[in-house]
């Protein structure tokens, strides 16, 4: 069978399988899955990993599988088996997408899509880590989307396994707590409280990661002035409003004025192939803008420390007023 026909066959099989799952989502029964895996005896763990992996490929909700793993195997083995199944499934979906469509997307992508793919590839494993810890997209869809990039397979799989571990532990423990609640016992309340604590920690994790991640770099006003005089100057993006841009502090000559509240809708105005330097009055709005741009695939984003206040204080070059 030629490569073209094999790709067509894979697309048909995937489409049919995903359609069946989506049409029968309400009929997916974790209890039936648990009984089926338990009946497999010593082959149960391997069977569970395989089912989890295939479920990820065909868009079975990962939460169903993870809760079932906790109920079947407990918090420790359940976490390990859930993580193994989720990582294997994520890798299979990644490889399928890469085989079927990555070359086609690379040839056809343009505009904002090309900019996004370029930014994701430049970030590499860091982008994978960020999206696994701060899930911006559904797990199953993200696996296929990342397969359309040129992120290395090994980096993708390892980062996926490591960065999904906190969530896997929390949801596995919830499944275990549910089984304990049904069975009864003296430790039910304690187990439930631990499960709630883990869920709260996972819910807080995205905010913590975003705070730690910050912009790709900070740049002082004096350093920015030197870079602007160099051979490959950055694009200065001023995220203040038009009144401030033309106001008392003025603006840096050549700066692109994209107010923060308009940034999302004007990404096409930002050059995709040059580094960016973000500036506002201080640096608070610039920091927010940097986080937005990084999640949209811009890899080289610097925040001007102190903003136009520092620039006008003599640390940078003279500013203009249009």
Place of tokens 């204080």: 313
Q: Quick one: which of 44, 45, 86 has its CA closest to 64?
A: 86
- CATH 3.40.250.10-classified regions of the chain: 217-315
- CA torsion angle 267 269 271 272 (round to 10): 30
Sequence-ordered list of residues with C-beta below 8 angstroms from that of 15, at least 6 positions apart, any chain: none
- DSSP annotation of 273: S
- CA torsion angle 174 179 180 184 (round to 10): 140
Distance (Å, whole) CA 310 – CA 226: 15
Contact status, residue 162 vs residue 193, Cβ threshold 8 Å? no
pLDDT, residue 322, reads 41
Phi, psi values for residue 156, rounded to 5°: -60, -50
**H-only helix segments in the chain:** 3-23, 30-38, 44-57, 62-108, 111-123, 125-133, 139-147, 153-183, 188-213, 221-228, 242-245, 284-295, 307-310
Active site residues: 280
pLDDT, residue 321, reads 46
pLDDT, residue 205, reads 58
List of the chain residues with pLDDT < 50: 321-322
CA separation, residue 295 to residues 31, 115, 206, 266, 317 (Å): 38, 12, 13, 15, 30
pLDDT, residue 191, reads 54
pLDDT, residue 210, reads 54
Q: Name the region of 185 (left: φ>0; alpha: ψ -120 to 50; beta: rest).
A: left
pLDDT, residue 203, reads 59
CA separation, residue 277 to residues 231, 284, 319 (Å): 15, 14, 15
pLDDT, residue 83, reads 95
pLDDT, residue 292, reads 85
pLDDT, residue 110, reads 62
Q: Determine the CATH number of domain 217-315.
A: 3.40.250.10
């Amino acid at each position: 069978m030629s490569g073209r026909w094999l790709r067509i066959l894979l697309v048909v099989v995937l489409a049919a399988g995903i359609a069946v799952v989506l049409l029968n989502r309400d009929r997916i029964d974790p209890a039936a899955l648990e009984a089926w895996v338990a009946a497999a005896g010593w082959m149960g763990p391997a069977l569970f990993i395989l089912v989890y992996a295939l479920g990820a490929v065909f868009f079975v909700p990962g939460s169903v599988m993870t809760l079932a793993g906790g109920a079947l195997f407990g918090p420790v083995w359940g976490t390990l088996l859930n993580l193994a199944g989720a990582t294997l499934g994520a890798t299979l979906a990644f490889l399928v997408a890469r085989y079927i469509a990555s070359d086609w997307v690379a040839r056809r992508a343009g505009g904002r899509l090309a900019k996004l793919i370029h930014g994701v590839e430049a970030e590499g494993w860091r982008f994978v880590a960020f999206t696994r810890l701060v899930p911006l997209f559904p797990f199953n869809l993200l696996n296929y989307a990342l397969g359309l990039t040129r992120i290395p397979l090994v980096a993708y799989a390892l980062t996926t396994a490591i960065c999904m571990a906190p969530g896997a532990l929390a949801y596995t423990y919830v499944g275990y707590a549910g089984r304990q609640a049904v069975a009864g016992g003296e430790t039910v309340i304690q187990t439930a409280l631990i499960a709630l604590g883990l869920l709260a920690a996972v819910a807080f994790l995205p905010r913590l990661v975003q705070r730690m991640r910050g912009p790709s770099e900070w740049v002082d006003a004096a350093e920015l002035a030197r870079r602007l005089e160099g051979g490959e100057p950055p694009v200065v993006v001023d995220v203040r409003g038009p009144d401030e841009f033309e106001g008392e502090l003025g603006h840096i000559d050549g700066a692109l004025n994209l107010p923060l509240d308009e940034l999302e809708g004007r990404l096409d105005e930002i050059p995709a192939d040059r580094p960016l330097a973000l500036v506002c009055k201080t640096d608070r709005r610039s920091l927010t803008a940097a986080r937005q741009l990084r999640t949209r695939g811009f890899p080289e984003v610097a925040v001007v420390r102190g903003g136009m206040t520092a620039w006008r204080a003599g640390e940078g070059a003279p500013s203009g007023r249009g």
